[in-house]
A and B are shown apart, each in its own frame.
Chain A
Amino acid sequence: EVQLVESGGGLVKPGGSLRLSCAASGFTFDLYSMIWVRQAPGKGLEWVSSISSSSSHIFYADSVKGRFTIFRDNAKNSLYLQMNGLRVEDTAVYYCGREVRTPGYWGQGTLVTVSS
């Protein structure tokens, strides 16, 4: 069974940092591209970042470019999102997903709250 489990969310002050993790199981992790998507409270879904299976192709939404870094450790079956320079508008539930163009599996999400 495919499982994606996010962790690392929490309350952080504006300008602070957090690292989100996504632990994958039930599939051959290093064969799949991965994605981060977020959802602000009461709002819709917003793509954040994507990474190819070998980390050779990485993309970011303009809203996070230069502040967030996506990376993966295929040996640990894990995906990460390093978030620096956090802003109030980054407050959201962050989901990791398997595959980029047709994300078919999602984690349960981890809540990031940016507030002073």
Chain B
Amino acid sequence: DVVMTQSPLSLPVTLGQPASISCRSSQSLVHSDGNTYLNWFHQRPGQSPRRLIYKVSYRDSGVPERFSGSGSGTDFTLKISRVEAEDVGVYYCMQGTQWPLTFGGGTKVEIK
């Protein structure tokens, strides 16, 4: 199975400052079709996950431009250019390249 390792587990951030979350996979996430199926989700307490980024760097409709995804192969990053209060919650990376599909353990973002 592909193990997805996120860091840090907890990320205290100051409003208006940047934040970065790392996601590393134990195997390459490049699919035989040429795509890299690495997704990022945001989940607030009591809510369903919301996809922010798919295929490494494609931002979903309605997702603020302050969110960006990057990376390749086994090393991926989610960046928030300037954290806003609504960004608190848990962020998960997920790989859709290999079976079984697997998620990272989550990074909890909170305001300092």
CB under 8 Å from chain B, chain A span 20-58: 35, 37, 44-47, 50
CB under 8 Å from chain A, chain B span 81-106: 90, 92, 94, 96-97, 99-106
Give the interface segment out of A11-19, A72-80, A83-91, A98-106: A98-106
CB of A102 within 8 A of CB of B48, answer no
CB under 8 Å from chain A, chain B span 18-76: 31, 35, 37, 39, 41, 43, 48-51, 54-55, 60
CB of A101 within 8 A of CB of B97, answer yes
Nearest chain A CB to B4 CB, angstrom units: 10
Please give, as numbers and ranges, the residues of chain B lying within 8 Å of A61 by CB-CB distance. 100
Interface residue from B37, B97, B103 paired with A47 (Cβ < 8 Å)? B103
CB of B99 within 8 A of CB of A104, answer no
Please give, as numbers and ranges, the residues of chain A lying within 8 Å of B106 by CB-CB distance. 44-45
CB of A106 within 8 A of CB of B101, answer no
Please give, as numbers and ranges, the residues of chain B lying within 8 Å of A102 by CB-CB distance. 37, 39, 51, 54-55, 96
CB of A95 within 8 A of CB of B96, answer no
A residues sitting closer than 8 Å to B (CB atoms) are 35, 37, 44-47, 50, 59, 61-62, 95, 100-109
